[in-house]
């Protein structure tokens, strides 16, 4: 594994998101059917974030999504290889009493499968645990890489009584997961 340094960032560092290359060639996607994960082949390219627009796939759109989460006290994390940022995460330690929320996790294309996501996840778990959380909630993009990553971390499908309604309503196509800390 490469040497990765995960640092606690300040809310003002959120603009570093533009340094992350989110592009990805997708070959597997998931749906949840009758409480079970079902995988299917796909062939779709996710382009880098739009650096200048304001839509949902733009850097400014993503920052607008993060702002209220940061305002509620979420912790921003950056994974660095020397001085180069290669991944970022945002964790809200107490979305509900005892429940943290991993609001964002991105590792740059070209730097994946080297343990960067795992390093960010470990620190995010510590941040939530240190704030008294006993579980972490993830609304995962329904792609092979994201879902398989979270399953590897020990996440399980959120049951009907574990689903966070406002997160489900905003991302109904996502795979909603919970992981005990
Ligand atoms: C999901 C993501 C953050 C994982 O980051 P990463 O740095 O590649 O993950 P790691 O290298 O720490 O992987 C840890 C383990 O997760 C699993 N995993 C990660 N990516 C995987 C993939 N594409 N396919 C299958 N398993 C995968 C593996 O078990 C892996 O261990 P291994 O490499 O020893 O087999 C990264 O793929 C990413 O940024 N994707 C685009 C953005 C995204 O979907 N973010 C999540 C939004 S909710």
How confident is the model at residue 114, as a pLDDT?
A: 97
The alpha carbons of the chain give a radius of gyration, in whole angstroms, of 16
CATH 3.40.630.30 fits 5-180, yes or no: yes
Nearest to 124 by CA among 70, 67, 158, 76: 76
How confident is the model at residue 105, as a pLDDT?
A: 98
What is the residue with the minimal CA distance to atom 21 of ligand 1? Answer: 145
How confident is the model at residue 56, as a pLDDT?
A: 82
Long-range contacts of 117-120 (CB under 8 A, 24+ apart): 117/87, 117/149, 118/153, 119/4, 119/6, 119/79, 119/87, 120/6, 120/77, 120/79, 120/87, 120/88, 120/89
pLDDT digits (tens, 9 = 90+) for 81-107: 999 999 999 999 999 999 999 999 999
Mean pLDDT of 3-24: 97
More confident site: 110 or 56: 110
Confirm or reject: Cβ of 116 under 6 Å from ligand 1: yes
Provide the residue ranges of all domains of the chain, joining segments of one domain with +.
Answer: 5-180
Q: What percent of the chain has pLDDT over 90?
A: 96
Mean pLDDT of 49-53: 92
Q: Where do the H-state alpha helices sit in the chain?
A: 59-71, 116-130, 144-152, 165-170
Confirm or reject: Cβ of 152 under 6 Å from ligand 1: yes
Q: Taking 90 as the threshold, does the pLDDT of residue 33 lie above it?
A: yes
CA–centroid distance, 148 to ligand 1, in Å, is 7
CA–centroid distance, 133 to ligand 1, in Å, is 24
Q: Taking 70 as the threshold, does the pLDDT of residue 2 lie above it?
A: no
Confirm or reject: Cβ of 140 under 6 Å from ligand 1: yes
How confident is the model at residue 74, as a pLDDT?
A: 98
Q: Which residue has the tokens 């560092």?
A: 13
Q: Which residue has the tokens 């949902």?
A: 56
Can you give the pTM of this predicted structure? 0.97
What is the residue with the minimal CA distance to atom 31 of ligand 1? Answer: 113
CA dihedral (50, 53, 55, 56) positive or negative: positive
Measured between alpha carbons, how far apart are the two ends of the chain, in Å? Answer: 24
């Amino acid at each position: 594994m490469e040497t990765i340094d995960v640092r606690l960032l300040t809310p003002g560092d959120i603009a570093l998101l533009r340094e992350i290359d989110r592009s990805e060639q997708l070959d597997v996607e998931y749906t949840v059917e009758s409480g079970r994960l079902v995988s299917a082949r796909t062939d779709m390219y996710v382009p880098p974030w739009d650096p200048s627009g304001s839509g949902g796939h733009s850097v400014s759109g993503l920052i607008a999504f993060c702002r209220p989460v940061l305002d509620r006290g979420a912790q921003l994390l950056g994974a660095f290889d020397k001085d180069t940022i290669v991944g970022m995460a945002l964790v809200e330690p107490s979305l509900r009493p005892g429940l943290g929320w991993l609001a964002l996790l991105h590792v740059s294309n070209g730097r994946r499968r080297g343990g960067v996501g795992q390093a960010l996840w470990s620190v995010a778990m510590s941040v939530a645990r240190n704030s008294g959380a006993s579980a972490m909630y993830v609304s995962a993009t329904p792609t092979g890489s994201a879902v398989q990553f979270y399953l590897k971390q020990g996440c399980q499908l959120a049951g009907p009584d574990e689903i966070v309604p406002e997160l489900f309503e905003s991302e109904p196509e996502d795979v909603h997961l919970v992981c005990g800390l």
